[in-house]
A and B are shown apart, each in its own frame.
Chain A
Amino acid sequence: MNNTFKKTILASLVSAGMMTSGLAAADEHPVKLGLMLPYSGTYTALGEAITNGLKLAIEQNDGQLGGRDVEYVQLDSEANPSKAPQNMSRLVKGDNVDFVIGPVHSGVAMGMLRVAKQSGAITIIPNAGLGAATNQLCMPNVFRTSFSMWQNSYPMGKVAYDQGHREVVTITWDYAGGKEDVAGFKEAFEAEGGEVVEEIFVPFPSTEFQSYLTQIASIDPDAVYTFFAGGGGVSFVRDYAAAGLKDSIPLLGSGFLTEGNVAALDGAGEGVQTTLHYAETLDNEQNQAFVEAYQEAYGKAPDTYAVQGYDTGAMLVQALDKVDGNTEDKEALIEALASVELQSPRGPMSFSESHHPIQNVYLREIQDGKHEVVGVAAEQLEVPDDACKM
């Protein structure tokens, strides 16, 4: 009770202090960031990691963007596509935010992009990997700081071929994300001269894999390429190992197969190779500093999602410095955002014509419960967003 009272007093003192400093900065109002991320449900952890990363980057810039204070408007997207247009409208028209940052879920992204098109609101996507966001649906006011399904799976095609695999079975969930991912792998693998002998699609979100593993064993390919995520990823990797397939048929995958879940794999993931635009073990100065700062601020190790949030913040810092905090001139602001170049914890990163990150994709192998970087699977890979006419 007494403690709460103290906290309240402290809070009002702090806010009073902030008000006076706001006054000192003349009539400048804060830059408003609208965060449309999941803060409840399955994707809560992702929403929180992105928010943490974003705030860390802005805190490291004295909590300011272009010399102006920052105000956060956080809205729970609930990862619910049907509420997306309405939520986005609320941020853009109701709260009048300068930037919208979101979402995590590709279905929500579809709804948000409709509103982004009508309103022209500057939107930065810190996760959702659907290809169309920067391709068929691309627009000047939309940026992405994460990845696309294609970008993370395409490099594995060449890796698999170079490792000597010629006949591969792919297996994923029967939904847009899984299909886009496997298509990227197949494109590269078959261009090299390999053959995808069977494409297995599991009804989403089933995690009953036994009959498919039996099928894989009877085909006996050189390797298996897979995309599953979350609990599905853990189930698949464990079942694959338990069926004794891991030693005879190497398991390859997109990084999301095991990202954030290595502990739950309980040793079953050792030796599994995946491609992703980040690994917590990346050996560069920025990553070491980032991991340390994140650990200190939030008491836990960062993951890919935290990096995506962090880079979204770093991008805003750089762009708003360039335009001296002027958010009125949208065209100049969009130009500044598009020309951002970052030395990110994930390595160098810039933006393509379609506003998609040009970045390294790393080949990682699970060793002693960590994603160790084996090498760079694709250096500064640009996504060919052919359908994007801006």
Chain B
Amino acid sequence: MDLAFFGVQLLNGLQYGLLLFLIASGLTLIFGIMGIINLAHGAMYMIGAYLVWDLTMRLGNFWLAIVIAIPIAVALGLIIERLFLDTLYKRDHLYQVLLTFGLILVINEAQRIIWGGDVHSVAIPAPFDASLQLTDNLQYSVYRLFVMGVCLALAGGIYWVIRHTRLGIIIRAGAVNRDMVEGLGINVRTLFTLIFSVGVALAAFAGMIAAPLTSITPGMGDSILITCFVVVVIGGIGSIKGAFWGAILIGMAETFGPVLIPSLASMVIYLIMAAVLLVKPRGLFA
């Protein structure tokens, strides 16, 4: 393996990892603070991609489509939380798992009814529709660099909110001891609604900015959900920092693993998860 090849793969791993972080951050927020295993998280990733495809078709502008799609995603999260989850907080985890699993089926079927079963794609939007020449025969889309920038900015933003704002203090406290936070007079119900909507919107947003890089198909969120759970478990449940480093680790593993040890390609991330859990049973940062 020469140096150029190694460098390009590093870039690939970083880009994939950063996108994974964006999806996993919402998952770990919801999981860590609300104690809810949101199986419908991947379905929201898919909804984000379909929304942006549909709106780009109608409006002819990708950026405008994103601006309109984000509030729709937040509203969807709000509706799901208030209408369904709100009544289940006092119940056992199993009920919430059942509910969010049911939501996958409902969302997937709704997707089929609204948008059908065809494969779609979104063109890479201007001004990022150019390529860089990396090696003599390999180009790299500038849009991928843009996605990396957006993911990094969001990661920084989330980190700042959690570390340096009052809301962040409440979120961190909530992740440690929910009852105590409630006892101190914080309105946990509003906090939950906020966390769930933002978490779900992060997944949908990841689907939106990933749309030009992937093909938009029914069930596209189902496989990414598993990978994101691995990220969350490796990083430590509820830890944003953990989700970040877990995502980078998995991104690198999924990039280098299949090339270096092809026979283990489909197992690599699970092997890493097992290894991490053996050493740190609660994940890297929890």
B-side contacts of A206, CB under 8 Å = 223
B interface secondary structure, majority: mixed
User: In the complex, which residues of chain A have a beta carbon less than 8 angstroms from the beta carbon of B117?
Assistant: 42-45
Distance between Cα atoms of A111 and B120 in the complex (Å)? 32
Contact residue among B4, B139, B215 (Cβ-Cβ distance under 8 Å from A232): B215
* Bound-complex Cα distance A43 to B138 (A): 35
A window 229-244: CB within 8 A of B: 230-235, 238-239, 242-244
Number of A-B contacts (CB under 8 A): 109
- Complex interface: stretch among A152-160, A209-217, A312-320: A209-217
The residues of B that contact A204 with a CB separation of less than 8 Å are 266
A218 in contact (CB, < 8 A)? yes
The size of the chain A interface, using a CB distance under 8 A, is: 44
State in angstroms the CA–CA spacing of A245 and B219 once bound together: 29
A212-B258, A261-B119 in contact; A231/B215 too (CB < 8 A)? yes
Shortest CB-to-CB span from B189 to chain A, Å, is 37
Taking a contact as CB atoms under 8 Å apart, the answer to whether B254 and A211 are in contact is: yes
Q: Which residues of A contact B223 (CB under 8 A)?
A: 205-206
Assess the A44–B262 pair: CB atoms within 8 A.
no
Interface residues of B in 112-149 (CB under 8 A from A): 112, 116-121, 123-124, 131, 133, 135, 137-141
Q: Contact between A210 and B139 (Cβ–Cβ < 8 Å)?
A: no
- CB–CB B121/A238 < 8 A: yes
Q: Interface 1/0s, chain A 39-52, versus B by CB < 8 A? A: 01111110000000
Inter-subunit contact B119/A242 (CB<8 Å): no
Beta-carbon contact of B2 and A218 below 8 Å: yes
Q: In the docked arrangement, what's the CA distance between A239 and B140, Å?
A: 10
For residue B8, CB closer than 8 A to chain A, the reply is yes
Q: How far is the CA of A127 from the CA of B118 in the complex (A)?
A: 18
Bound-state CA distance A248–B223 (Å) is: 32
- Chain B nearest Cβ from A360, distance in angstroms: 27
Question: What residue in chain A is nearest B124 (Cβ atoms)?
Answer: A242
Give A210 to B262 CA distance when docked, in angstroms. Answer: 15
Chain A residues positioned under 8 Å from B258 (CB to CB): 200, 202-203, 211-212
Q: Is the CB of B265 within 8 A of A242?
A: no
Q: B259 touching A230 by the CB < 8 A rule? A: no
B12→A203 contact, CB < 8 A: no
Taking a contact as CB atoms closer than 8 A, the residue among A43, A201, A264 that contacts B119 in the complex is: A264
Q: Which residues of B contact A230 (CB under 8 A)?
A: 119, 217
- A265 proximal to B (CB < 8 A): yes
Best-surrounded residue of B131, B137, B218, B259 (most CB of chain A within 10 A): B137
Enumerate B206-246 residues with CB–CB distance to A below 8 Å. Answer: 213-220, 223
A231-B220, A243-B139, A264-B121 known; A215 and B259 CB under 8 Å?
yes
CB-nearest residue of chain B to A214: B8
| Across the A-B interface, the 3 shortest Cβ-Cβ residue pairs | A244-B139, A231-B217, A203-B266
Instruction: Report B's interface with A, CB cutoff 8 A.
Output: 1-2, 4-5, 8-9, 12-13, 15-16, 112, 116-121, 123-124, 131, 133, 135, 137-141, 213-220, 223, 254-256, 258-259, 262, 265-266
A-B contact pairs, 12 of them (CB 8 A): A45-B118, A201-B262, A205-B223, A206-B223, A210-B12, A211-B9, A211-B13, A211-B255, A231-B119, A235-B215, A242-B139, A261-B119
Contacts A44-B112, A211-B9 known; 6 new A-B pairs at CB < 8 A: A206-B223, A214-B8, A214-B259, A220-B137, A244-B138, A265-B121
